[in-house]
Amino acid sequence: MLSEFKTFIMRGNVVDLAVGVIMGAAFGGIVTSLVNDVVMPPIGRMLGGADFKDFFISLSGQSFPTLAAAKAAGAPTLNYGVFFNAVINFLVVAAAVFLLIQQVNRLFPKPAPAAGPAMKDCSWCATSIPVAAKRCPHCTSNLSGA
């Protein structure tokens, strides 16, 4: 059983999957930084210098100047600004993956499907059979003379 597990782990597709997950996590960190440090500050500036991380609703009824202050007070909050950042992160990742897949598809076009054998109808039973057939597999008629 241990040798089967070792064989399974050392397969190329399992190792490739592990590398993909690690690269995806690293890419996620880059995208998070891009959104939080590059994309969101100009948007916040256009909205009057607001930081989306501080957009929240206090569910306790008290007013807090920042999300950190609400968290420090232990107040329950609805953090729609953090959610908005997560949505932007997702859209950036989705766009990057779309562009990557689009370029990969251009580099490696799908092969044309193999054409099946041309078909003809058996003159005895009217079943569709390959043109090169000498005998019908359904009615066993000899087709070499037909």
pLDDT tens digits along 91-128 = 888 888 888 888 888 888 777 777 766 888 888 888 88
Q: How many CB atoms lie within 10 A of CB 1?
A: 5
Please give the pLDDT value at position 132: 83
Winning range, highest mean pLDDT, from 5-9, 10-14, 83-87 = 83-87
Q: pTM here?
A: 0.54
